[in-house]
Structure 1
Amino acid sequence: MRKRYFAVALLALQLMGCSKFEEINTNPETPAQVRSSMIATRVILSIADQPGQKDFMRPYFLTKAITWGEMADQNYQFNALGTQTMSLIGLNDVQYMVDYAGTEKLKNAYQGLMHFARAYRFYELTMALGDIPYHDALVGESEQVYFPKYDTQKEVFLGILNELEQADEFFAAGDKFDGDPMFAGDLTKWRKLANSFELNVLLQLSKKVDDVDLKVKERFNAIFTGKPIFQSSADNFQLIRSDNSGQTYPFYKVGNNNLIYPIVSDEIIDRLKASKDRRLFYYAKPSPVKIAAGLSATNYDAYVGISPSLTYGDLSTVRSTNDYSKLGDRYTELPTGEPTQQYSYAHMCFVIAEAATRGWISESDVNWYKKGIEAAMSFVVENTTNTEAFHQGMPMDETYIANAVNEYGTKFPTTLEGKIEAIITQKFLASFLQGRITPYYDYRRTGYPKWKINPASSLNVDAPEKIPTRWMYPAIEFAKNSENVSEAIKRQYDGVDDPNQLMWILK
């Protein structure tokens, strides 16, 4: 009997100890189960956030907006692209975001986000490389496909367009969802983003406008006339910065050891000076040498851009003179800086202007061109403290913007090529430290803006007179998935993984 009582007491003690152990070893601040909202936050930030300091600036070396004065890591500035990783960041577990949703409408909302995120990431990857795994991608766990085949770029773009259309449909059938640092779960804004971004994707297919499967013009017109798209900069896909740790502007001065290196490129400054465009006074500071010589900071001639095409030796000589324009203080002195855009209303306006010029839609191209310029100028004003330090005493008020936009409109060219050059150039000027490498994609598709190329400084060894048209496949693909990547290179590039080859969308 004593043994029985002892055994019961021991069992009770063990159960109490186990219960106490679990209580002690449970962190009340750590969720016991992953929630859809947690995955959504990570997915959105993986797309929308941008790195800090030099990593933030690197894309703008490639787009010729910034001349970088440091010798190290200037491949983009000197036209060497190298290889591209094939990471699909944030997509590995997006399906769980849908699976963990509590209601059917929430499942729809998260499924819309899943399709948008997939479309965005696959777009980035195919734009960089050409053919990529699409149908076989991300199914290693579910379908045990460990060596994915490469889809043709046409198949990838068909998939991207389909997923963007699915995103719109699921968002339309969903409920406001949690975990959204961008639009606070507002599904109307997500629908606008999915559709507006699809317009951009379709424009990148301008050389394939007659493809009967893609139906580029038909899709573009259907979205423009029948679906919600961006209506103002309030719809921008952008992160609004704050002075909280980890949320400041990516090139804010605190802890930033790279402040001495960026120089505003002459590709930006010369174009703004030629049009007497006051964005110059927000983007850049005057040359100290010109100020010392008696020019005012309000004088356009006080601003000196430096060409990113200079050899490093020539660039070093110019830097030693101190006769150049550094970044405006709005980018370094304010922890909030300006919102960092991935895709904006201004960008969309220029997309629509180009589509109108090409005859895809029955709209006035010059009107959309003017809307894009106005939106770009207003964005700068609305996100800049109205003090002399941030605009050199040359602010852009409503009257200035209206007059400047009308002036650009009256000078809008009459020829097809002239119009496209004007539209792409204005999109480039609006993309100063925004949108990452988008202007590069426009350049390789259209040849605009007409950036200067210097064979003497070029690291594009096989074609120093050209800017490369693509990145090369990463070495790990040749080590782990050799048969499939080799077949894709043979199919596209005659077996040579070369940065100057033309991918399908550019032919």
Structure 2
Amino acid sequence: MKKIFNYILIGLVGLGTSCSKFDEINSNPEATEKVTSAMLATRIILNLANQSTQKGFMMPYLLNKNIVWTEFVESYQYNGFGAGGLSFASINDAHFMVQFAGTEKLAKSYEGLMYFARASKFFEATMDLGDIPYKDALKGETDKNYFPKYDNQKDVFLGILNELELADKAFEAGETFTGDPLYNGSVSKWRKLVNSYTLNVLIQLSKKESDPDLNIKSRFQQILSNKPIFVSNADNYQLIRSDKSGQTYPFYKVGNNFTIYPIVSSEIIDRLKTRGDRRLFYYANPSAKRIKDGKLASDFDSYVGIDPSLEYDKVTAIKNSTDYSKLNDRYTEIATGEPTQQLSYSQLCFVIAEAAARGWVTDQSVDWYKKGVAASMQFIADNTPNTVQFHHDMPLTTSYIDTHVVGLGTTFPVGKEAQIEEIITQKYLASYLQSEFATYYDYRRTGYPAWKINPASSLNSEAPSKIPVRWKYPSSEFNYNTENVDEAVKRQFGGVDDINQLMWILK
């Protein structure tokens, strides 16, 4: 021990007498010493677009009833909610992109990205929690405001819509920029995303369609008539995966110990079977038991989902019977998988279809509805190898897609509410393992699809016959921003931070 100490002491003395040489030896001549707008843009965009990996990737899809988890009881599967997140750390330096840009037109492009990133993060937070800090947020460094007040949700949404409008204007005045892994810096593509994203925000405000300050219908009409929006799957807000480390599909099997646990939900399988929809053969594998009993993998009846509301012991009993459908192999066996979306052209089509059903625009609802289904099917076909392993001899060919969509048009409901239910249901089916919590937001807003709820298995102890409608505020807010979060809880929920009480947009 003494000898080791002496070596350490000699080393410390050496460092003290030759610090400059140490710095020289430990400098990387190829590493940048200056932060650039492009570097900041890449980090911010990936933070916005990326999703968790392995088990974490599946968690939103338990809440969305896409998947049943068989490892053990998971809260989201059984409607158990805790605290949400309220951190804007990923965008606290977004304004530096503008400062470091170099030219006026580049500064406009990065300004557009800054506004979009801000709007996205505030949208996610308020959708989860209700009232959040907005006007005072991100002012710790500039104004030394470490304890931001909470804005009411209406003002937050007005701010979000304003920032999205500013983003569109900035991109319109900008030019191609670097550091963009989504659209290679194309400002025209970013304008499509910003305006499509705005339509998605507006549809989430459907219960406030008559509010004169929000002016939802007029905003929607103006964008649809005058602004660039998504026109095909090529515009999707998505990350295209590769076979490189750190860029593979989030549930790819290599290094993933959780591939044995997910089973496809009956909420997905039963709806696809009822509609004779071949997406079933791309989402799931057939039941091992039914194949053993002589059924074909191309038979709709070979696919069996598990009701995600079943008590856990019943789920495990079904798993032991082998009469259930696992994930399709394409989710685990292909390194590149499929691109992971935050907002797709297909989903946008359903947003517009719903707006049309509500009378916000004069477009025919059924036309956008059919476009949404066709885009979903084409996306799957384009991003899946054309082999029996992945489509079980039931491929999504162009002729099948065309025929299926025509048939959907003839059976499209007549009444407004029935149309909305069918639109939201198809949006749900098109969002399988995509867009994280998006279909949960639609469910709590519209009640569609009508997911099964089992009080006997529910972890929502205060209201076991309901799915919670929000997350609680994080404990850090109660510890460090007590006065402001307490005031927000009192203003919204009578002083109780309750997962079952309605936030403003849901009233």
Instruction: Normalising by structure 2, report the TM-score.
Output: 0.95
- How many angstroms apart in 2 are the aligned matches of 1:325 and 1:108? 50
Task: Summarize the Cα distance change of 1:293–1:113 in structure 2 as closer, same or farther, 3 Å threshold.
Answer: same
SS at match of 2:78: coil
Task: Name the structure 2 match of 1:432.
Answer: 432
Conservation of the 8 A alpha-carbon contact between 1:46 and 1:89: no
TM-aligned CA distance change 1:481 to 1:20, over 3 Å: closer
Q: What's the counterpart of residue 9 of structure 2?
A: none
Instruction: Using the TM superposition, give the Cα deviation of residue 23 of structure 1 relative to its aligned residue in structure 2, in angstroms.
Output: 4.6
Letter in 2 for 1:343: L
3-state DSSP of counterpart to 2:210: coil
Deviation at 1:29, TM superposition (A): 2.5
Q: Which amino acid aligns with 1:262?
A: P
Paired residue total: 490
Give the equivalent residue in structure 1 for 2:76. Answer: 76
Q: Which residue of 2 aligns with 1:274?
A: 274
Residue of structure 2 equivalent to 1:99? 99
User: Where does residue 154 of structure 1 map in the other structure?
Assistant: 154
Q: Distance in 2 between matches of 1:252 and 1:18?
A: 46
AA at the equivalent of 2:58: M
Deviations 1:299-355 (A, max 9, x none): 100000001101111111111111100000110110000000000000000000000
Give the Cα separation in 1 of the matches to 2:42 and 2:372.
30
Aligned partners of 1:285 and 1:316: how far apart in 2? 18
1:409 CA drift (Å)? 1.1
> In the TM superposition, what is the alpha-carbon distance from 1:22 to its structure 2 partner?
5.8
Deviation at 1:28, TM superposition (A): 1.4
**Counterpart AA for 2:499:** P
Q: Distance in 2 between matches of 1:370 and 1:444?
A: 24
Q: Matched residues in 2 for 1:224 and 1:396: separation?
A: 30
Q: Does 2:251 correspond to 1:251?
A: yes
**Cα shift at 1:21:** 6.6
Corresponding residue for residue 41 of structure 1: 42
- Determine the C-alpha separation between the residues in 1 that align with 2:295 and 2:369: 33
Query: What SS is found at the alignment partner of 2:179?
Result: coil
For 1:66, the aligned partner's letter is I
Q: Determine whether 1:55 maps to 2:86.
A: no
Match of 1:240 in 2: 240
Q: Output aligned runs, 1:102-117, within 5 Å.
A: 102-117=102-117
1:30, distance to aligned residue in structure 2 (A): 1.8
Q: How far apart are 1:493 and its partner, in Å?
A: 0.5
Q: What is the CA–CA distance in structure 2 between the aligned matches of 1:23 and 1:56, rounded to whole Å?
A: 43
Distance 2:91 2:394 in 1: 45
**Which letter maps to 2:55?**
K
Q: Distance in 1 between matches of 2:447 and 2:238?
A: 27
Q: How far off is 1:20 after superposition?
A: 6.7
TM-score using structure 1 length: 0.95
Match of 2:394? 394
Distance 1:291 1:407, change over 3 A: same
How far the C-alpha of 1:24 sits from its partner, in A, is 3.9
Partner of 1:204: 204
Q: Name segments (4+ residues, structure 1) moved above 6 Å.
A: 17-21
Between 63-72 and 190-199, report the one with greater CA deviation.
Answer: 63-72
State the alpha-carbon separation in 1 of the partners of residues 469 and 19 from structure 2. 63
**How far apart are 1:18 and its partner, in Å?**
9.1
Identify the range of structure 1 (333-342 vs 26-35) with the bigger mean alpha-carbon deviation: 26-35
Q: Tell me the amino acid that sits aligned with residue 497 of structure 1.
A: D
Distance 2:447 2:19 in 1: 70
Q: 1:189 corresponds to which residue? A: 189
Cα pair 1:264 1:326 within 8 Å, conserved: yes
1:28 partnered with 2:36: no
For residues 236 and 440 of structure 2, what CA distance do their matches in structure 1 show? 21
Report Cα offsets for 1:7-55 as digits up to 9, x if no partner: xxxxxxxxxx998776544311221110000000000000111111100
Report deviation, 1:213: 0.6
Alignment correspondent of 2:449: 449
Measured in 1, the distance between the counterparts of 2:19 and 2:491 equals 62
Q: Partner letter of residue 47 of structure 1?
A: L
Q: Residue type matched to 1:65 in 2?
A: N
- 1:180 corresponding residue in structure 2: 180
Encode CA deviations 1:195-235: one digit per residue, 9 max, x unaligned. 00000000000000111110000100000000000010000
- SS across alignment from 1:379: helix
- 1:301-320 matches, within 5 Å, as 301-320=301-320
The code of the aligned residue for 2:441 comes to Y
- Cα distance in structure 1, aligned partners of 2:495 and 2:403: 54
Identical columns (%): 61
Query: How has the CA–CA distance of structure 1 residues 89 and 265 changed in structure 2, closer, same or farther, with 3 Å as cutoff?
Result: farther
Deviation at 1:413, TM superposition (A): 0.4
Q: SS at the partner of 1:90?
A: helix
Q: Secondary structure at the match of 1:341?
A: strand
What is the CA–CA distance in structure 2 between the aligned matches of 1:100 and 1:134, rounded to whole Å?
25
Segments of 5+ residues of structure 2 without an aligned counterpart are 1-17
User: 1:329, 1:20 → 2: CA distance?
Assistant: 55
Shift of 1:81: 1.4
Aligned to 1:145: 145
Query: What's the offset of the Cα at 1:87?
Result: 1.2
1:226/1:315 Cα in 2 relative to 1: closer, same or farther (>3 Å)?
A: same
Judge which range, 81-90 or 178-187, deviates more: 81-90
DSSP-derived class of the 1:77 partner: helix
Q: Deviations over 1:138-160 (max 9, x none)?
A: 10110011110000000000000
The separation in 2 between residues aligned to 1:459 and 1:208, in whole angstroms, is: 31
Is the contact made by 1:267 and 1:307 (CA closer than 8 Å) also made in structure 2? Answer: yes
Cα–Cα, structure 1 residues 128 and 18, in superposed 2: closer, same or farther, change >3 Å? closer
> Against the structure 1 CA distance between its residues 328 and 89, is the aligned structure 2 distance closer, same or farther, given a 3 Å change threshold?
farther
Distance 1:476 1:494 in 2: 21
Alignment RMSD (CA, Å): 1.1
Q: Which amino acid aligns with 2:53?
A: G
Per-residue deviation at 1:479? 0.6
Shift in alpha-carbon separation, 1:19–1:481, aligned structure 2, 3 A: closer
CA offsets per residue over residues 348-395 of structure 1, 9 Å max, x none? Answer: 000000000111111010000000000000000000000000001110
**Structure 1 Cα separation of the partners of residues 24 and 54 of structure 2:** 43
Higher mean C-alpha displacement, 312-321 vs 121-130: 312-321
**Distance in 2 (alpha carbons) for counterparts of 1:18 and 1:138:** 38
Contact 1:150 1:484 in 2 (8 A): yes
